[in-house]
Amino acid sequence: MISPVTKTIDDLEITVQPWGARLAFQNQLILGKLLAPALKDLGKAVMTTSKNQESQDPESLENTSIDLGLIGSAFSSVLLSIDPDKADSLITTMMSNVYLKNKKMTPEMIDTIFMGKFETLYKVLWMVVEVNFGSFLSKNAIGRLLKKA
């Protein structure tokens, strides 16, 4: 069992309670469909820029300089793949186990707290992804996948 994770993000005390296995699997499929094009572009960005470096060791990914133009392409892929009609459902689902000072986040709280603070919202959403899929996102796991690409 994974314990809840609490950290301060832009002066907000955020706690993420990990999803149960079934919800995590369902959300992995949803996020996978959205992020697959971006991950493909991101993998190309990492591999293209790391070809010019001495080591292809997955452990060295943290020291890899990445072409920001290719990262922009990956981000663009994410934005183009999200159906605006499904965005509300996606964010509500992702924030379903997020707490602010021990109070469960509601759609109304999301609207109010993150109004004009999209960068903070993205940081919290990334925390949700890290808590629920952290073992997959570790540099070793991603590094092995990118090395095979």
Is residue 18 over pLDDT 90?
yes
Strands, sheet with 5-9, edge to edge from the N-terminal-most edge strand: 5-9, 12-16, 98-100, 103-104
CA distance linking residue 135 with residue 141, whole number of Å: 7
Unique residue bearing structure tokens 């602010």: 100
Is residue 148 over pLDDT 60?
no
Name, of 17-26, 34-43, 133-142, the range with top average pLDDT.
Answer: 17-26
Side chain identity, residue 4: P
CB 69 within 8 A of CB 41: no
Question: For 72-93, what is each residue's pLDDT tens digit?
Answer: 666 676 677 777 877 888 888 8
Domain ranges of the chain: 5-148
Average pLDDT of every residue of the chain:
77
CA distance linking residue 100 with residue 11, whole number of Å: 11
Name, of 36-45, 70-79, 88-97, 135-144, the range with top average pLDDT.
Answer: 88-97
More confident residue, 105 or 58: 105
Is residue 61 over pLDDT 60?
no
Question: For 93-119, what is each residue's pLDDT tens digit?
Answer: 899 999 999 999 999 999 999 999 989
* Distances in whole angstroms, Cα of residue 62 to Cα of each of 46, 72, 122: 10, 19, 21
Is residue 8 over pLDDT 60?
yes
Q: Per residue in 33-65, is it b (16+ CB within 10 Å) or e — as a string?
A: ebbebbbebbbbbbeebbeeeeeeebeebeebe
